[in-house]
Structures are given as structure tokens and as C-alpha cells.
Amino acid sequence: MGDTLSVCVSDGADQTAPLPQKQTLEKYRVVGQSGATVRKDVNLDSPLVANLEKDTIVDVSAVKGRRAHIVSPVDGWGSIKTETGYVILKKEDGEIYRYKIVLKEGAVIRKGADIDTSDVVGRAEYLDIVESTGEVQEVDGIQRLRIKQGWISMNLRENGSVGAPIVERVD
């Protein structure tokens, strides 16, 4: 009658493969003023998955260069920082740093890091102790420190350059 065709089918059960390891996730916070853009893969031109709002906590499973693989609250890739160094995602280490206000006039607390456009939300008086995660952003040459209530300058701005200190770390 004819030829016989023989087919061997394997489900791979006889091959040994390592069991999947429990994935270690690290927590990051979206700190970019405009939030964070999450894309489908590591490429910056891949399709958009979501735009996460500032202060969103994300779980990161891997980091490649400036890019982080976010697995929660969405699955995709986001930038940790821009090419120019602007921080978008900051690792949550849980450490709190204490700073003393050392300027006799005290410190202005603003809602955002930008000195010129952010609303004033309060004041810290001379010798007050403020708490911070240590997050710092440079705006117009002045380092701005994120505290629980908002943002304060670490130094005065004097004639376009860095002036007298406003805060001093105490621990």
C-alpha cells in the first residue's frame, strides 16, 4: 500500500530545566514632576502602556541601563532618569534623613521642586528639624530637597549662583 510516516512527539517532560526562581522585586516611587511613561518594552519608541502619576509606587523586576522593567501596577518599561540626569523613578529604601534649618530667616516650603513656579505650602522656622528621604533635584543650579511637606532649597540663590546654606544634615 504505501509508505509509512513516523512522527515522534515530545512534550519536553523528559528534559530537565531549572524551576523558576522567586522574582525579587524592588519598590520605586515615581518622582518625576510629570509622572512616568511606561512602554511595552525596553525601547523608548515601543507602544505606550500607561502614564503613571507622580508618587505612584511601582514594583521593578529588572534594570537595564536607565530603564526599569515595571511589573506592577502595570507591566512595561519606564525610565529611571533622563539622558540629562533628571530622576523619574527613585528606589524606595525607606531611610529617613533629618535636616536642621540653619538660616535665621527659615525656609520656604513649596509644593514642587521648581522654585519659580511651585506654590508655597508653608515655612520651616530657624532650627526646625525636617525629615526627608534624601531625594534631591537640581533646579536652576540650586539643589532642592524633598521633605514630607514639600520641597525646600538647600542653599539660597544669590545673583544666579549658590549662596548660604539653608539646611544642614543632622544624622
pTM: 0.49
User: Percent of the chain beyond pLDDT 90?
Assistant: 48
* Residue 70 dihedral angles phi and psi, to the nearest 5°: -90, 130
Q: How confident is the model at residue 151 (pLDDT cuts 50, 70, 90)?
A: very high
Could you tell me if 51 and 38 are in contact, meaning their C-beta atoms sit under 8 angstroms apart?
yes
4-56, pLDDT tens digit by residue? 444 444 333 344 344 344 567 888 889 998 999 999 999 999 999 999 988 88
As a whole number of angstroms, the distance between CA 69 and CA 58 comes to 10
pLDDT average, residue stretch 100-115: 94
Q: In this structure, what is the dihedral angle of CA atoms 143, 67, 83, 155, given to the nearest 10 degrees?
A: 0
- String of DSSP letters for 88-128: SEEE-----EEEEE-STT-EEEESSS-TTTSPEEEEE-TT-
pLDDT at 169 over 70: yes
Q: Who has greater pLDDT, 167 or 113?
A: 167
